[in-house]
Chain A
């Protein structure tokens, strides 16, 4: 595996992570080493093996569509970085 600078930048962008330009070679090296380890999986014969998403092969439980929680907006917004009139504020997104 050899992820280069452009690919590291693309992954960081997809993950919405600002990373320092100077750290890119270290990330590249670490990720490449980890993917070399992961490469061992390609030797495993997994033909006709069903992927395992849940250890007990359980299915998502459903519940009836009734209100189960009360609105606690004010309480939750006390820990928000920036709010106004009950809404969360972010930089302007629409011109």
Chain B
């Protein structure tokens, strides 16, 4: 059951080959068997999952079920789920039972899907290795001595280990695409504003975007159909029609213009990864695409720009965690300042504190122009480079990450080295463009991801470009040996 596509699962459920309860139980059993080894889930929702599955089975019997009714999924623990702990992998929210559902969760529930559990992540989505979680690091199913990437590392590991057929993630600087690359998945970060951020715990509000993490572009399209759309409750949500992303998957790639940014293919790029990416691009040429070198001259500014914008916004967003209305409160506060200081000092982990402090400093009196304003100007330079590039090409391709999965603990002592793990993905968030990572091969048994960057609202085209490749390759079907 756990090697089927969403369409295959849907057909089987509708034909009565097995029930949603049986399918859900199968995944819950797999989670029980394997979760201790990889730590992908923070919360397993056994009772509510089976309850949702029973309701789905009734709809299936009554022939009122939709395409995804009865199919299980895993939510990154950043999405508020009513009545279920929503921890954001932080001690601060370890006791937070959300009183409401995120819009994404509401839409997925309405589609009749079954929530298996809440997946581990970097604390408040700050990290690239899933090592900053209060609930401990997640292990990569391809090699459990290595990280799954982050921050959506739990969703990625759960998917790679076949503990869920599909999962949600969020991406602020690469947090869907980089773990997708390191765990051999298809991950999509849509255009900023395409999916509602309501009920998705905010990290950097001008960058955060939710998206699907899947085994194929075909599956990702099906979940995006459910997740996307305008939401009045998110003031930055974009009011624009949502196409059916499944209908254009098979469109021809004849004449597709691919741009390769020379800055992403410098001599610093690992030669083995370069070979995998070159092979994938040659494959696209055989499908009728043309390739052209392009330039994104300001891409070197991406990481420093991001490490002003994201911490500044996080320091503001996380000020709501103050120990007053919800979340962790310290014992015996002697006055209000003590309550704030110790609740926050105890509740937040090291990386979160570091970023709050960077942001606080960058926004403090006298420094605003030198840091935040300057970074916002650089952000426009980065964005304008993409605008220029998309005059000449339809899609930009590059590696998703500079390395394959690295060893647990390898970069934890050096925040700057960790930040460079997102060197190819961050500029997409700064520009607000849609980006994907798809499996493109292996180096020494570890997955390599190909990144596809599209123009604004070109999600359908990206999924089409990914799907055509996946029709002719089977990288995305590879499963780690111990989790088959």
The smallest beta-carbon distance between A74 and chain B, in angstroms, is 10
Inside 8 A of B322's CB, which chain A residues have their CB? 16
Q: How many residues of B contact A (CB 8 A)?
A: 70
B-side binding surface: helix, strand, loop or mixed?
helix
The smallest beta-carbon distance between A18 and chain B, in angstroms, is 3
Inside 8 A of A33's CB, which chain B residues have their CB? 415-416
Inside 8 A of B303's CB, which chain A residues have their CB? 37
Q: Give the distance in Å from the alpha carbon of A92 to the alpha carbon of B336 in the complex.
A: 7
Query: Is residue A90 within 8 Å, beta carbon to beta carbon, of the partner chain?
Result: yes
Q: Give the distance in Å from the alpha carbon of A17 to the alpha carbon of B345 in the complex.
A: 5
Query: Is residue B335 within 8 Å, beta carbon to beta carbon, of the partner chain?
Result: yes
Task: Given A30-B415, A34-B416, A54-B206, check contact A17 B374 (CB 8 Å).
Answer: no
Quick check: B335 and A41 within 8 Å, CB to CB? Answer: no
Query: Is residue A66 within 8 Å, beta carbon to beta carbon, of the partner chain?
Result: no
In the complex, residue of chain A having the shortest beta-carbon distance to the beta carbon of B337: A16
Inside 8 A of B380's CB, which chain A residues have their CB? 49-52
Query: Is residue A38 within 8 Å, beta carbon to beta carbon, of the partner chain?
Result: yes
Q: Digit string of B418-433 for contact with A (CB within 8 Å is 1, else 0)?
A: 0100000000001111
Inside 8 A of A8's CB, which chain B residues have their CB? 357
Quick check: B360 and A51 within 8 Å, CB to CB? Answer: no
Query: Is residue A85 within 8 Å, beta carbon to beta carbon, of the partner chain?
Result: no
The smallest beta-carbon distance between B235 and chain A, in angstroms, is 6
Query: Is residue B307 within 8 Å, beta carbon to beta carbon, of the partner chain?
Result: yes
Quick check: A63 and B232 within 8 Å, CB to CB? Answer: yes
Within 8 A of A (CB), among B288-310: 298, 300-301, 303-305, 307-308
Query: Is residue B344 within 8 Å, beta carbon to beta carbon, of the partner chain?
Result: yes
Within 8 A of A (CB), among B67-99: 95-97, 99
Query: Is residue B53 within 8 Å, beta carbon to beta carbon, of the partner chain?
Result: no
Inside 8 A of A79's CB, which chain B residues have their CB? 95-97, 99, 326
Residue with the highest number of chain B CB atoms closer than 10 Å, among A34, A50, A61, A80: A34
Query: Is residue B189 within 8 Å, beta carbon to beta carbon, of the partner chain?
Result: no
The smallest beta-carbon distance between B313 and chain A, in angstroms, is 10
Inside 8 A of B323's CB, which chain A residues have their CB? 81
Q: Give the distance in Å from the alpha carbon of A39 to the alpha carbon of B325 in the complex.
A: 38
Inside 8 A of B48's CB, which chain A residues have their CB? none
Residue with the highest number of chain A CB atoms closer than 10 Å, among B298, B373, B377, B379: B377
Inside 8 A of B360's CB, which chain A residues have their CB? 11, 14-15
Q: Give the distance in Å from the alpha carbon of A85 to the alpha carbon of B20 in the complex.
A: 45
Inside 8 A of B99's CB, which chain A residues have their CB? 72, 75-76, 78-79
Q: Digit string of B365-380 for contact with A (CB within 8 Å is 1, else 0)?
A: 0000001011111111
Q: Give the distance in Å from the alpha carbon of A79 to the alpha carbon of B96 in the complex.
A: 7
Quick check: B377 and A49 within 8 Å, CB to CB? Answer: yes
Inside 8 A of A60's CB, which chain B residues have their CB? 235
Query: Is residue B41 within 8 Å, beta carbon to beta carbon, of the partner chain?
Result: no
Q: Digit string of A20-36 for contact with B (CB within 8 Å is 1, else 0)?
A: 00000001001101110
Quick check: B301 and A80 within 8 Å, CB to CB? Answer: no
Within 8 A of A (CB), among B113-132: none
Inside 8 A of B337's CB, which chain A residues have their CB? 16
Interface residues of A (CB under 8 A from B): 3, 8, 11-12, 14-19, 27, 30-31, 33-35, 37-42, 44, 46, 49-56, 58, 60-61, 63, 72, 75-76, 78-82, 88, 90-93
Q: Can you spell out 20 A-B residue pairs with CB atoms less than 8 angstroms apart?
A: A11-B357, A14-B364, A15-B344, A16-B319, A31-B358, A34-B307, A34-B415, A37-B303, A40-B304, A46-B374, A50-B377, A55-B431, A55-B433, A56-B191, A76-B325, A79-B99, A80-B324, A80-B326, A81-B323, A81-B326
Interface residues of B (CB under 8 A from A): 95-97, 99, 191-193, 206, 232, 235-236, 238, 298, 300-301, 303-305, 307-308, 315, 319, 322-327, 329, 333-342, 344-346, 348, 353-354, 356-358, 360-361, 364, 371, 373-381, 383, 415-416, 419, 430-433, 456
